[in-house]
Amino acid sequence: MKLYYFLIAITLLAIGANAQQIENLAELKKRSTNPIFSKLGAAPRNGGFSMKGYWVWCGSAVKGEDNKYHLFASRWPDSLVFHPGWMVASEVVHAVADKPEGPYTFSEVALPARGAQYWDGRATHNPQIVKHKGQYILFYMGSTHPFEDPKAKELTLQSHWCIAARNNKRVGVAVSNSPYGPWKRLDQPILPVKPNTFYSFLTSNPTAVVHDDGSVLIMFKGRGHNGNTHSHMSLGVAKAPSIFGPYKVLNNDQPVFSVDKQGEAEDPFLWKDATGYHVIFKDQVARFTGEKGGGVLAHSKDGVKWTIDKDPKAYSRTVEWNDGRTEMQGQLERPFILFENKRPAYLFFATMDGPGGFNNATRSWNMVIPFKP
């Protein structure tokens, strides 16, 4: 009996703690001086992008010449487990909407599988769309493996599919004169691995600024070899005279955000304005925001030396919806800001339901949060 009442007490405390966090969201945003967090509005329930029969992840949007909004996201069959299903079966797809917040309707597969002989032949993921001087540019992660299609019941991180696919993750670029394609893909990645660096094992999660002169600054996630396994996640930056390269990793091949200094960080979104470069990324271990999975804002003059914002919390996993409810998302990742008139207008996320953890969800989708005027 004592155990029964103890379990009830623990449950009530957990509910109370969660309710307190949710109730405090409005007050936290009101007190915030962070230029992102303080301006976030309510997300439309019927916005974003989802597909029946698929896990949907990532999400990056651009306004086209047709005055429609074009979203590039990742999808893979929900017959496979979410993680690591994306690693071996993801494909970048294109969806269209009349409004920035959606809802978006599937149009076509932008970057399909194209054969194990290509570096990105079995999976494409992590898309970020950039429009530059009439050209549409997709930065993305690709991978390959030489095996048969994965069997759902045998697909784990230790399976031969994932061991090969994870080891082959690289950053690439594709270009088109239209958001509807066709897309020109390269036979080689733009960010290969390099021995004895933080990116000797893989490169992924690209986010890029294309400058007026066509040169590029790109931030990416790297992992290095650590004995027979891989290191923690780090974020590095590279530059190139054009989107096709050649890319040179800056900071003497050292990361700009690493586990030793900032704690593990991933899912960066990079942009530039008159004051310099800015990035938001996922606070993997709650180092800056006090919330595991919350967002961090940082600033830089040159893209190499970064300063965390004085009020670093840029977003929370707890989200306000336009039906009046406030909920904590199971996951909230891959942030992307859509700018209009050079001002942040909409914040896109990959998200899922459930209590947290990639494989505790029943669905995933892309959601959109408008900024307040």
180-207 tens-digit pLDDT? 999 999 999 999 999 999 999 999 999 9
pLDDT tens by residue, 247-256: 999 999 999 9
Task: Name the more confident of 260 and 79.
Answer: 79
Q: Which two tokens stand for residue 74?
A: 């990742």
d(CA 228, CA 302): 35
Question: How many angstroms separate the CA atoms of 113 and 89, rounded?
Answer: 8
Please report which confidence band the pLDDT of residue 3 belongs to, taking 50, 70 and 90 as the band edges: very low
Coil, strand or helix: which one is 12? Answer: helix
What's the token pair of residue 78?
């929900």
Give the C-alpha distances (Å, rounded to integers) separating 214 from 130, 135, 272: 12, 11, 14
Secondary structure of residue 325 in the 3-state scheme:
coil
Domain boundaries, the chain: 47-268+329-370
CA dist 59 and 71 (Å) reads 6
* 170 pLDDT above the threshold of 90: yes
Residue 80 clears pLDDT 50, i.e. is over it: yes
* Integer Cα distance of 131 and 112 in angstroms: 21
Which pLDDT tens digit goes with each residue over 302-352?
A: 999 999 999 999 999 999 999 999 999 999 999 999 999 999 999 999 999
| 49-77 mean pLDDT | 98
pLDDT at 20 over 80: no
Expressed in angstroms, the distance from the first to the final Cα of the chain is: 55
pLDDT at 17 over 50: no
Q: CB under 8 Å to 181, separation ≥6 — which residues?
A: 94, 108, 110
Question: What CA–CA distances, in Å, run from 340 to 34, 45, 50, 71, 210?
Answer: 19, 22, 24, 15, 17
- DSSP characters over 254-303: --SB-TTTT-SEEEEEEEEETTEEEEEEEETT-TTTSSTTEEEEEEESSS
């309510």: which residue's tokens?
Answer: 42
Phi/psi zone of residue 53: left (φ > 0), alpha (ψ -120 to 50 degrees), beta? left
Please give the Cα distance from 239 to 113 (Å, whole number): 28
Measured distance CA(20)–CA(22) in Å, rounded = 5
Q: What is the per-residue pLDDT for 12? A: 38
What's residue 22's pLDDT? 54
The residues, any chain, with a CB within 8 Å of residue 292's CB and separated by 6 or more, are 283, 284, 285, 286
Q: Which amino acid makes up residue 363?
A: R
CATH superfamily for domain 47-268+329-370: Glycosyl hydrolase domain; family 43 (2.115.10.20)
Q: Say what the pLDDT of residue 195 is.
A: 97
- pTM, 2 dp: 0.93
Residue matched to tokens 């597969």: 109
H/E element, 130: strand 123-132
What's the half-sphere exposure (Cβ side, CA atoms, 13 Å) at 146?
1
